[in-house]
Structure 1
Amino acid sequence: MNAPKTPPVHVPMSQFPVRDGELLVGGIPLTRLAARVGSTPFYAYDRQLLSERVRELKSALPAAIKLHYAIKANPMPALVGHMAGIVDGLDVASGGELTVALDSGMSPKDISFAGPGKRIEELRQAVAAGVLINVESPAELDALAGIAADTGWTPRIALRVNPDFELKSSGMRMGGGPKQFGIDAETIPEVIARAESQGLVIEGFHLFAGSQNLQAESIIEAQRKCFDLAGELAKHASHPIRSLNLGGGLGIPYFPGNQRVDLAPIGANLAQIAEEAKTRFPQAELCIELGRYLVGEAGLYVCRVLDRKLSRGQVFLVTDGGLHHHLSASGNFGQVIRKNYPVAIGNRMDATTLEAANVVGPLCTPLDILGDRMMLPPAQVGDLVVVYQSGAYGATASPQRFLGHPAVAEVLV
């Protein structure tokens, strides 16, 4: 007979302090915050943690490398407004996100728009706004030429490049091989010629090889390859390159064994790239584009225990939250083998007794799991379960209308 598995130990989550046994979010005790929100479940994002992450990253980067926030990670308008005041640019992936970005007060010249299937209405919106459009196909290029001819407005254009390499050890690979993203690197010269024949000026290149990577050496290799590839592609353009987006890739720790990415060598590599760019791209602004890394660790998902059940020797904490609000924590957003996000009982942080418990949601599906046999304080009905690392790909990446349960609230504190 197999012995029961010992639940794994997670990376310590220390970004939210504890006082009198309760987590503090923005300095507010969790039970009081829940009362202030008015209902559970909810997401809570900490302004101070967001600002600290940006300051930490900027201190590791050379001043010549601009920092953009990819708002797909978390497009909550209040959060985007906060980020707009502390980063150098915003990157969007739809017309809806573009509206949020423009409302944030960020200058259109510092907003870029990527995505493989932009509708003609979105392209017209982006041209009218004056944002940089990362073109993903020859057909999209032709559509922009048509908009320019119809309106007299000049589109700002960069080419999104699908490189012939990928970001090694990344959780999500978005470059290399056949991809729906960008234009294959080997066809870029003919696309540049096509653009120039239609009177369009290519401002620069956008290269994004992958995301959620914790290996500094892999990120460094990808950034170097992206920079060198851009140098080769720029030789085919008649106009100087003014924009070079080297992508992102930096991940955050979610699971046992994960280690935080080391910023020092990444910053040193980017400093070298920035120095070389003075010669290779003297008129270009260089940037990196990050989403999850900037906001992921600043957020909590909070739900309330509705029932405590015992089934054949196992404890089940049934909560009012689940995969309909937090698909990624349930393991159904890209995980091949399900792993637990860090979970705690947010109002019992000083408990010394632990038990193995399963944290599940209210949905009629066995996929609705937030924690599988995790060591937690014995929780009772009314206690607050928190899921750490929930600032990115949460509410808007989840099927909130599934089975008709109430929508999740979001607060920035």
Structure 2
Amino acid sequence: MSVLDSFNAPGGLLQVGGLPLARLAQRAGQTPFFVYDRSKLTERVRLLRQMLAPSIRIHYSIKANPMPALIHHMSTLVDGFDVASAGEMRMALDTGMAASHISMAGPGKSDQDLRGAVGAGVTVTLESQFQLEAVERIGRELGVTPRVALRINPDFQPVNSGMRMGGGARQFGVDAEKAPAMLRDIADRALRFVGFHVFWGSQCLDSRTVIAAQRHVAELVSQLADLAQDLEFVNMGGGFGIPYFDNEHTLDVGAVGAAMQDWVEPLRQRLPGTRLVLEFGRYLVGEAGLYVCRVVDKKVSRGETFLVTDGGLHHHLAASGNFGQVLRRNFPVAIGNRMGGENLERCHVVGCLCTPLDRLADDVTLPAAQIGDYVIVGQSGAYARSASPADFLSHPQPVEILA
């Protein structure tokens, strides 16, 4: 079953949140637009609550999708937010989430970022000696004791993670072997140490890799626990991925949840009263989003059919294959007003930009489309609009809808 089949399509017309595609386009007032299904966001958090150990707290990483309405909805579902800038922090605070349940990570935090976080009472996740010294200075200037955590670059490197964020030489965090010295340094300063953050990777679909990584993180934190007292939380990272391409499978969250029992209870006994946090971004929002654009031209060039749309890589860089893919592969695509159509044709779906890189789908079989039809790109809820070069060629910005 295609991931797009989960969006109800009676009579061949795709629906999101109970609204048919035509109504969504009317609500957007234009194409292209993004639409996110709030019921799928709710269902995904509910699945994690059911599958993971009951003591696990769920945080949403706002960088995956910073749409304000979506963040407000997520604030009713999750236990905290992870942010990577002062702008994201302000959006998180606007939801009413307690500052003590918001943490700021990132290897290149500006003085403005740090000052905003310290002043607001948000936890600053330290990733270098320079950040440690800057936070202490800002705390003195503001007359407050900064809340800090330590992000650790672990001494293991997952093999099957789609994007490796830990292990080896990284710009992220403090190397695990240097963590003890930095913890002693923190203890000697006017700082309030509240937690650890160990982020090992992301976009992993292999449950065995996730299980092994979580066990390694638990062991690492246990080893460092003697150097830190009264920990409020340990952010174990996340790493859960979603399938984008035909040869990919869904992560077995049940297997991950079952294996947690091996480390959750020992770690809770080791750190009583400490919140154990898993941080998720694309896993919470990726499959809940669609990108919708319209066919504005149809042409045949030397025997190959091209559907030219008013969308493209300036709105959805990832779908074009230019956001980390080594070999370009197609995201799930469909003709939204001809779902299940029988008159099929081979075609390429391209954008409106003046570059051959602007392709939304290569050599796909779709219901024969006409000018004015809607092209739908699935798995578009994470790292899409906000991770794309929207100013390229000065086309209008896409609208976003939470349905």
Compute the TM-score of the two structures, normalised by the length of structure 1. Answer: 0.96
- The equivalent of 2:332 in structure 1 is 342
Structure 1 position 327, deviation (Å): 0.1
3-state SS of 1:206 partner: strand
Query: 2-side partners of 1:160 and 1:186: how far apart?
Result: 12
Contact 2:222 2:267 in 1 (8 A): no
1:287 matched to 2:277: yes
Aligned length in residues: 403
Query: 1-side partners of 2:184 and 2:210: how far apart?
Result: 31
What do the CA deviations read for 1:270-294 (whole angstroms, capped 9, x no partner)?
Answer: 2332211222111211010000000
Query: 2-side partners of 1:215 and 1:13: how far apart?
Result: 22
Query: 2-side partners of 1:269 and 1:199: how far apart?
Result: 39
Query: 1-side partners of 2:176 and 2:247: how far apart?
Result: 36
Structure 1 position 106, deviation (Å): 1.2
Structure 1 position 152, deviation (Å): 2.0
Query: 2-side partners of 1:104 and 1:394: how far apart?
Result: 22
Corresponding residue to 1:364 among 354, 358, 361: 354
What do the CA deviations read for 1:128-159 (whole angstroms, capped 9, x no partner)?
Answer: 11111111101100111111222221111110
Query: 1-side partners of 2:283 and 2:7: how far apart?
Result: 17
Query: 2-side partners of 1:69 and 1:14: how far apart?
Result: 26
Contact 1:11 1:255 in 2 (8 A): no
What do the CA deviations read for 1:168-218 (whole angstroms, capped 9, x no partner)?
Answer: 211111001111000011001111111112132321210001000100000
Query: 1-side partners of 2:380 and 2:14: how far apart?
Result: 15
Q: Give the counterpart letter for 2:402 in structure 1.
A: L
Worse overlay, 160-169 or 301-310: 160-169
Structure 1 position 11, deviation (Å): 4.3
Structure 1 position 324, deviation (Å): 0.2
Query: 2-side partners of 1:287 and 1:270: how far apart?
Result: 13
- The equivalent of 1:323 in structure 2 is 313
Contact 2:14 2:337 in 1 (8 A): yes
Q: Give the counterpart letter for 1:340 in structure 2.
A: N
Query: 2-side partners of 1:150 and 1:128: how far apart?
Result: 10
1:251 matched to 2:241: yes
- The equivalent of 1:79 in structure 2 is 70
Structure 1 position 406, deviation (Å): 1.0
1:115 matched to 2:106: yes
- The equivalent of 2:212 in structure 1 is 221
RMSD: 1.1
- The equivalent of 1:166 in structure 2 is 157
Corresponding residue to 1:46 among 37, 47, 51: 37
Query: 2-side partners of 1:409 and 1:13: how far apart?
Result: 20
Corresponding residue to 2:264 among 268, 271, 274: 274
Q: Give the counterpart letter for 1:114 in structure 2.
A: A
Query: 2-side partners of 1:167 and 1:107: how far apart?
Result: 33
1:70 matched to 2:61: yes
Q: Which runs of 5+ in 1 are unaligned?
A: 1-9
Query: 2-side partners of 1:230 and 1:105: how far apart?
Result: 30
Worse overlay, 30-39 or 375-384: 30-39
Query: 1-side partners of 2:320 and 2:343: how far apart?
Result: 26
Query: 2-side partners of 1:332 and 1:165: how far apart?
Result: 28
Query: 2-side partners of 1:25 and 1:344: how far apart?
Result: 14
Q: How does 1:67-216 map to 2 (within 5 A)?
A: 67-216=58-207
Contact 2:119 2:142 in 1 (8 A): no
Corresponding residue to 1:233 among 219, 224, 241: 224
Q: Give the counterpart letter for 1:318 in structure 2.
A: V
Structure 1 position 268, deviation (Å): 1.6
Structure 1 position 313, deviation (Å): 0.6
Contact 1:363 1:403 in 2 (8 A): yes
What do the CA deviations read for 1:341-374 (whole angstroms, capped 9, x no partner)?
Answer: 0000000013112111100001000000000011
Q: Percent identity?
A: 54
Q: Give the counterpart letter for 1:97 in structure 2.
A: E
Contact 1:111 1:131 in 2 (8 A): yes
